Structure 1
Amino acid sequence: MKKLTLDRLAQMAGVGVATVDRVLNERGGVSPETARKVLQAARELGLKRVLPEEYKQPWHIEVILSGNGSFFFKQLAKDFSEIASSLGYQRVKLSRTFVAESEPEKLARHLINCTKKRDGIIVFAQDNPAVHHALEHCRDQGMPVITIVTDLPHASRLCHVGINQLQAGRTAGLLMGSMSRVAGEVIMVSGSFDYTAHRQRIEGFRQVIQQRFPHITLREVLVGQDQREKIHRLLSKNLENAASVVGIYNTGSGNTEVSEVLAGCGLLGSCTYITHELYSLTRRLLAADQLNLVLDQNARQHAQLALDILLKKLENQIEPDIYQSGKVDFKLVTAENYA
């Protein structure tokens, strides 16, 4: 473009030449109002070139995840950021917030505040009255909300994105029973029961063991609340008499503590050990034949699917199938396929 034309266009729009260049070449860093002025001036001047599409404010999406520091949520947060970046700053602006699992009231307040300044929400949420009330408020304000990882089937949400947690628990139970050929006891370690994911995993696991494997006795669930010190303390106490224990199933975080306690009791590598999520520690345990099976949720697919569904709703008013659209397949990982 000739400098004379560029200068005239900048003068007409009341901006600098550098700003005109940024708008016409879509380099960003210009407010929507200023971009509109530049494009309008270009049309009035009869500029002979293809103009960018009218600037649109990007969709501002809030992602709310657990602040428990586990590998899965760190990876999920990273995946959301990378996918949002690939979509472009003109389409999506992503904000991430981490809320401690022990603070449902704080989560509820944050959900309500988001209705004033966000276009859509993706949330990992507890089954708590305050949270349900906040989700009703979001619905009343026309705010689309997707629950992720753990579902709230009776809550006001657009849909849920995640694996079938009951099915994952049943799969863990089937493989625990098949691998543990000697009669004995199995210990279940669970995260917080405020989350349906943990309840469903335990429920499915218990169903299959009780239905199909009479040689296995299940001890009471150790609810570790995803708190590492608590998991270590509860499991240590329950393994004071470890002679009858043939297996352990951990539904949540704390595999470092579980493996430490099992090693101290001489059970690491000799009892059947099943857990969730493939990361550096579970890879090492698999490689050392100290862990039998990992059920991995596939964090990347969670992030991709949740953003896809939400953007289809925001941009084209496409309603997801509440029971089908958000399904994610979990993976079974053993020492033979962990790489």
Structure 2
Amino acid sequence: MTHRFLVKDIALQAGLGTATVDRVLNGRAGVRRQTAERVHHAIRELEAQAGQLAASGRKFIIDLVVEAPQTFRETLDAAIRQEMPLMQPASFRIRSDTRTHFPPDEMERALSRAARLGSHGVIVMAPDTGPIRDAIDRLDTEGIPVITLATDLPGTRRRAYVGLDNTSAGRTAAWFLHKWLARHTRPRILVTIRNDRFRGEEEREKAFRQALQTMLPDAELAVIVEGHDTVEFTRRVGETVGTAPPDGLYSIGGNNRLLLSAIRNAGAQKPILIGHDLDPDNRALLAEGAIDLILYHDLAEDIRNACRVVLAAHSRGAMPKPPDGAALRLAVPPMADPI
């Protein structure tokens, strides 16, 4: 194991004698496995500390390029305001370009612009298109680490993914609906998606459908994609609900107030509703009892981990990169008993 530290420094970090450390470093016999591991762990700790010292006081500019609903972007902004003052030992400045509707060609230009302006890292939430994949690969080639947020782009040269395990989220939604609707005969379930070009939403829907086929094989499933035409989306929701009122609704793409309004205007009873993201709008709907379950992850943790990926990339491995993904969290209305 190569290192750049004095034996006495390693011994102090490990709490061992210098002779013991010397035996471990030179591969001599007579050292217990646990003792050798203490020495190797001490070296890793010294490397991390060296990376922190190197980053101390350094300023990083991170470009945030995101297509997401307004409520998600507001929650993301709040997470950034919360985390940025706490990031140590370096300081980070976020340069944002976030939009509700971000045409792929404009997003590709925004990613290319980040390179021209001298970015230290890019956090991106984007649809899965060839030009965007190419832009991410170009950024990495130029030494700018890219982190995907909430929806991944596997197969690109992105350095990490931060956000929910979307497959687990879809399965979890199916499990709860199966528990709530198990006594229904041929329950009708509606799934709504904001944008089927986003891999994360596609993964949720696919996992939900597969799990539901096992748990509720007689369920009738309908899927509606919102796209960019909210008026047409509302019309299709109202038409579907008016013809066949759903017993359960899995809202993958959000816009839950609009969904509930369309259901109410169609004269249908509110179905069991499972949604995503603990934004202010969904918090209010939870408090009202209009949503039965929210699946979410901590966006502040996502931002923190994304910055740690940037630090790891620029420290050339001296600082560890956090693992991909985030913990799945559940929120239910006050006093609710979902099971």
TM-score (norm 2): 0.75
The runs of 5 or more residues in structure 1 that have no matched partner are: 1-52
Give distance in 2, aligned partners of 1:137 and 1:86: 31
Whether 2:207 is the aligned partner of 1:214: answer no
Partner of 1:164: 165
1:227 Cα deviation from its structure 2 partner: 5.2
Larger Rg: 1
**What do the CA deviations read for 1:133-190 (whole angstroms, capped 9, x no partner)?**
1112112211111111100011111111111001101110111121113122111100
Given that 2:56 and 2:89 are in contact with CA atoms closer than 8 Å, whether structure 1 keeps it comes out as no
Q: Secondary structure at the match of 2:315?
A: helix
Whether 2:254 is the aligned partner of 1:253: answer yes
Partner of 1:304: 304
Q: Secondary structure at the match of 1:282?
A: helix
Given that 1:306 and 1:326 are in contact with CA atoms closer than 8 Å, whether structure 2 keeps it comes out as no
Given that 1:99 and 1:107 are in contact with CA atoms closer than 8 Å, whether structure 2 keeps it comes out as no
**What do the CA deviations read for 1:245-292 (whole angstroms, capped 9, x no partner)?**
2111110121011111222234444x2111112234333433343322
Given that 1:146 and 1:159 are in contact with CA atoms closer than 8 Å, whether structure 2 keeps it comes out as yes
**RMSD of the alignment, in Å?**
2.6
Given that 2:55 and 2:315 are in contact with CA atoms closer than 8 Å, whether structure 1 keeps it comes out as no
Give distance in 2, aligned partners of 1:106 and 1:320: 33
1:226 Cα deviation from its structure 2 partner: 6.3
Whether 2:284 is the aligned partner of 1:281: answer no
Matching residue within 212, 217, 229 for 2:231: 229
Q: Percent identity?
A: 21
Given that 1:242 and 1:265 are in contact with CA atoms closer than 8 Å, whether structure 2 keeps it comes out as no
Give distance in 1, aligned partners of 2:285 and 2:133: 39
Superposition map of 1:102-251 within 5 A: 102-116=102-116, 117-180=118-181, 181-183=183-185, 184-219=187-222, 221-225=223-227, 228-243=230-245, 245-251=246-252
Greater relative CO, 1 or 2 (CA 8 Å, sep 6+)? 2
Which AA in structure 1 matches 2:312? K
The runs of 5 or more residues in structure 2 that have no matched partner are: 1-53
* Number of positions where the alignment pairs a residue of Structure 1 with one of Structure 2: 280
Give distance in 2, aligned partners of 1:333 and 1:319: 34
**What do the CA deviations read for 1:100-126 (whole angstroms, capped 9, x no partner)?**
544111111111221231111111121
Given that 1:81 and 1:94 are in contact with CA atoms closer than 8 Å, whether structure 2 keeps it comes out as no
Partner of 1:335: 333
Partner of 1:294: 294
TM-score (norm 1): 0.75
Which AA in structure 1 matches 2:292? N
